[in-house]
Amino acid sequence: MSDAAQNAAPADVNDLFDLTIIGAGPVGLFGTFYAGMRGMKVKLIDSLAELGGQLSALYPDKYIYDMAGFPKVVAKDLVRDLSAQALQFAPTVCLEEKVMTLTKTDEGFALGTDKGVTHRTKTVLITAGVGAFAPKKLEKAEFARFEGHGLHYVIPKLEIFKGRRVLVVGGGDSAVDWALALNEIASEVTLIHRRDSFRAHEDSVKKLHASTVRVMLFHELEDITGDGAVNGAVVYDNRSKEKTTLALDDVVVNFGFLANLGPIKTWGLNLEKISLVVNQQMETNIEGVMAAGDITTYPGKLKLIVTGVGEATMAVCTAKMRCDPKASYFPGHSSGNAAFGEGGH
């Protein structure tokens, strides 16, 4: 358990909480903080052993570029600051505990977990990201022998690539960001992408092309070579079929993740594919159950951390009114001044 989580209030399953947040990624952490700002009694539950969700579990050393207030920030540093912010109101935190059931009760909801525990809460906020996640892997089964020996689907520590020759495979934000980050410490970085357009932020792509990363468009991976560990790869141009052999130490694959909502699918919530449908107040079809972040969908949805924290704020305000009908949806600005009225304008 992280030092931050150890500073949280101890769990008491007999207590009735105003709001229980399921998912301790960036969105859940900010929701925990904002619920504290609104004077709510909050519990935060996550199946992982650390706060931070995917940022902690999959890429703690990756730079995050689209969070307000940071030109760029290392994921683990963002988690550290979000955790400190979230825990200042002493919420109860339950880690390594997976919520399996959601049952309506007279007082709100009962959440049953894989530890045989039932948590009582008036309202629920689901911030579970993409749910359970696993990286999409290369199709050829023979490549599996290189996993842990130079073939990587996640990068827990950037420093292991110092001075090494690295091939990055993919064309999304993660692939581009990893190529840029690896270029600062690796001896050589090559990125291959099967098309000539990227599914990444325009500024990141601009930086990629301006960097010393070797970018090979319209190229795909045909083979990985090595006796026990990666020592090279064969890539091919998908237009001309011309092959190129690369001398390498590592192959980093970024094809995205396979998402699975798991037990959430059985809770009676309206789903659109693998996303929870919410309204403008981040309410699901079950009164008292809100959702925010990547797990949600609505017209115009953007799956970004920066939008997710805003959604968490709206969800918390909706939960506040459910717990206290006399409460206002809009509490006023945290920087408000009496001279300008409640809203601080």
Q: For residue 338, what pLDDT is reported? A: 39
Angle of CA points 85, 98, 309, to nearest 5°: 30
**Domain residues of the chain, as ranges?**
3-133+257-340, 137-253
What is the rounded distance in angstroms from the CA atom of residue 345 to the CA atom of residue 343?
A: 6
Q: Can you name the CATH fold of 137-253? A: FAD/NAD(P)-binding domain (3.50.50)
CATH code at 3-133+257-340: 3.50.50.60
The beta-carbon contacts of 134-140 under 8 Å, at least 24 apart in sequence, are 134/257, 134/258, 134/260, 135/58, 135/253, 135/255, 135/256, 135/257, 135/258, 136/255, 136/256, 136/257, 136/258, 137/253, 137/255, 138/221, 138/253
Asked whether the domain spanning 137-253 has the same topology as the one spanning 3-133+257-340, the reply is yes
DSSP state of 90: -
SS3 85: helix
What is the rounded distance in angstroms from the CA atom of residue 68 to the CA atom of residue 88?
A: 20
**Which residues of the chain fall short of a pLDDT of 50?**
1-2, 4, 6-7, 337-345
Q: For residue 58, what pLDDT is reported? A: 79
Q: For residue 128, what pLDDT is reported? A: 94
177: left (phi over 0), alpha (psi -120 to 50) or beta: alpha
301 contacts: CB under 8 Å, gap ≥ 6: 275
Per-residue pLDDT tens digits for 166-192: 999 999 988 999 999 999 999 999 999
What is the rounded distance in angstroms from the CA atom of residue 173 to the CA atom of residue 157?
A: 18
Q: What is the mean pLDDT of the chain?
A: 91
Per-residue pLDDT tens digits for 113-150: 999 999 999 999 999 987 767 788 999 999 999 999 99
Residue 218 in tokens: 């319209």
Neighbours of 49 (CB within 10 A): 12
